[in-house]
Amino acid sequence: MYLVCGEALFDVFIQDDGARSSELAFKAIAGGSPFNVAVGLRRLGVDSALFTGISSDYLGARLRRVLGDEGVSDAYLVDSDAPTTLAMVGVDAHGSPQYSFRGEGCADRQLRPEHLPPLDHQVRGLHVGSFSLVVSPVGDTLLELVQREHNQRLISLDPNVRLNPAPDIARWRERVEAFAAYAHLIKVSEEDLQLLYPEQDPQQVAAGWLGERCHLVFLTHGSDGASVHSRHGQWSVPAVAVQTRDTVGAGDTFQAALISYLIRHGLDSPQALASVSREHIDAMLRFAVRAAALTCSRVGPDLPYRHELDAV
């Protein structure tokens, strides 16, 4: 089982205007980057659980229902009377989402050290990412978790920078570096690195994260594909050509695909990752690019199933 840690919320997509100027139509879809990764893992055949605060309100109950329908374990959900976070989403002409969050004091931010669960041998790894790294108190709680577990389990990280809920870029840099120090695998977008380190070459930043603990850093480039840094060197693969509907959930799909590949091939431990072959890394990279492309061909965070990728 892989334990995914971080926010669960509803993405509220602004639809076409109503008949009157006073009307707006909305469509709400369960999401949040960690939520999507947990669902994506299940769709790719991997047992997963989500560690997050979940509200007792109607939207929280609906999030629980979605997780149950998808087969994501609820064993690490923490009940909260705080409301559910909402992310208002508008999609631009290129299919890229623009977010505005309503999340201060909400349930997914309320994880505290006393909520940290004991983990048994069934939990093979942890994934952390997005604004849960930065906001309090959940950010401190998750950092304590990866500090506690990094010697026993695979740790993966995706910064997934969202400045709207946490606009202090210096804070983002400090927290991303703190989590990166315990990660064995990092996936990051070029857009994120341009926000975090605007005066540095993204490839150099990615290469700089490699070290005694971190063995793989994947850098996504949107429509230009993705690249990887490893002890075998650095190389890139092109994107898969699709008719893009939007890019919502593409990065989460990429992340879930990486983890699922490692688990499928018995490489989901710090020790195995340290000696992974170039051939496996290249196959993993191409699998993740293919999976992300399939999500881009759909509307919203509709992550692919394993049989769909096997059929490609």
Position 48 confidence tier, pLDDT thresholds 50, 70, 90: very high
Is the CB of residue 139 less than 8 Å from the CB of residue 157? no
Sketch out the chain's domains with CATH numbers.
2-310 (3.40.1190.20)
Is the CB of residue 104 less than 8 Å from the CB of residue 77? no
pLDDT at residue 17 greater than cutoff 70 = no
Rg for the chain, CA atoms, rounded: 18
Walk across the sheet containing 185-189 and list its strands.
77-80, 48-55, 2-5, 125-129, 154-158, 185-189, 216-220, 226-230, 233-237
Give CA–CA dist 40/302, Å, rounded: 9
Is the CB of residue 213 less than 8 Å from the CB of residue 186? no
pLDDT in tens, 20-46: 778 888 889 999 999 999 999 999 999
pLDDT at residue 16 greater than cutoff 90 = no
pLDDT at residue 19 greater than cutoff 80 = no
